[in-house]
């Protein structure tokens, strides 16, 4: 899985593995074992979120793997209840502490929460400018939310993580993101 076709180059130049393990609804030793197994067989992207309640176990598996931290791409997300400028910064610190790693590769706004979107994005931009995260983005943002984001964003989102399948094919959203180089 170490060939160039296994990665996507984000709009800020960093490479993100295309294949990753999402750890939604995994807890305790189950989460740690799943991450361990995924890393053993070659996965290099681990996707978690504060609201999943398993960042500690994800971090433990990463540290126990013996794989260089620079070879593992870690994504996490700010929870809906932690959005807003100051709350997002605190939530980031809490995630970093639970993961027990030096930086996060990709930090996402988990959902577009009314009245909190701008302040939350500004907090992510601050973290990015301070090099605490390698890339920032959003999750579950449809076109109207992305259009709004562009009215105040200084940093373009690198990723919009959305459900995408034969049963939920959002072709207009895909084109919108492709035109703006949002993975």
Catalytically active residues, by annotation: 52
Nearest-angstrom CA–CA distance, 157 and 181: 9
- Contact yes or no for 80/113 (Cβ under 8 A): yes
What is each CA distance from 116 to 28, 75, 83, 129, 135, in whole angstroms? 31, 21, 6, 20, 20
CA 61 to chain centre: 18
């Amino acid at each position: 899985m170490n060939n160039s076709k296994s990665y996507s180059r984000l709009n800020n130049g960093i490479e993100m593995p295309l294949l990753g393990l999402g750890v939604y609804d995994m807890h305790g030793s189950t989460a740690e074992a799943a991450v361990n197994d995924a890393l053993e067989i070659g996965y290099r992207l681990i996707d978690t979120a504060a609201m999943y309640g398993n960042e500690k176990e994800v971090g433990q598996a990463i540290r126990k793997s013996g794989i260089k931290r620079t070879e593992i791409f870690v994504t996490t997300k700010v929870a809906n209840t932690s959005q807003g400028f100051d709350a997002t910064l605190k939530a980031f610190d809490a995630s970093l502490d639970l993961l027990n790693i030096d930086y996060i590769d990709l930090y996402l706004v988990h959902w577009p929460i009314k009245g909190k979107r701008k302040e939350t994005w500004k907090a992510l931009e601050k973290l990015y400018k301070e090099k605490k995260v390698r890339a920032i983005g959003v999750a579950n943002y449809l076109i109207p939310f992305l259009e709004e984001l562009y009215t105040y964003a200084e940093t373009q989102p690198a990723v919009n993580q959305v459900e995408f399948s034969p049963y939920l094919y959002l072709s207009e959203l895909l084109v919108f993101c492709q035109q703006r180089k949002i993975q």
